[in-house]
Amino acid sequence: MPGNKDAVLGNKDFLAGLVFLAFGLAAIHIADRDLPMGTAMHMGPGNFPVLLGGILGFFGIFLAARGLGWPEKTPRRAAWEWRPVTCIVASMLIFGFVLPRLGLVAALVPMFFVAALGGREFRLRGVLVLTAVMTALAVGVFVVLLKLPFHVFPGRYFVW
């Protein structure tokens, strides 16, 4: 276990675990407060965010425990890398802005490209393949299977 308070608070795993735990608890709190849970047979809209918040919280607990030395390992110092953080946040903002205006496909494409800019390497071919596969998967899961009312392209709902 790290010997002092600074070693714990500067540990990447511990800090990431706290962030995951905070987001998970916030998701549970917001969903439980604002959305009806329903029953096991007739699940309400609050069930899915609460479940995801719980999973995120458990990941957070696991990461924080790893940061405290379970299992034993040498601690890694946390260093903020602003480029990845900025690119990920910007990609989410772009997705949220573009989705209601131009549709799911037009929102996913710039989201993946901006998020990929935050990585250590940017390979255009890899990002193109990832974007195509993930966009097809998102349309398949959310629009075709779950039948969520997303505009796939500007002004067009696809109904199967």
- Mind listing the pLDDT tens digit for each residue in 73-100? 555 565 667 888 898 999 999 999 998 8
Name residues of the chain where pLDDT drops below 50. 1-2
With respect to residue 75, please indicate whether it lies within any of the assigned structural domains.
no
Same domain, yes or no: 104 and 149: yes
Same domain, yes or no: 24 and 87: no
pLDDT of residue 116: 93
Q: Write out the residue range of the structural domain in which residue 18 sits.
A: 5-67
Same domain, yes or no: 56 and 95: no
Contacts of residue 93, defined as CB under 8 A and 6 or more positions apart, other chains included, come to none
pLDDT of residue 2: 45
pLDDT of residue 9: 66
With respect to residue 74, please indicate whether it lies within any of the assigned structural domains.
no
With respect to residue 76, please indicate whether it lies within any of the assigned structural domains.
no
145 alpha-carbon distance from chain centroid: 21
pTM of the model: 0.57
Same domain, yes or no: 122 and 150: yes
In this structure, what DSSP letter does residue 75 have?
-
Which string of DSSP letters, residue by residue, matches 72-114?
-----B----HHHHHHHHHHHHHHHHHHHHH-HHHHHHHHHHH
59: amino acid identity, one letter: F
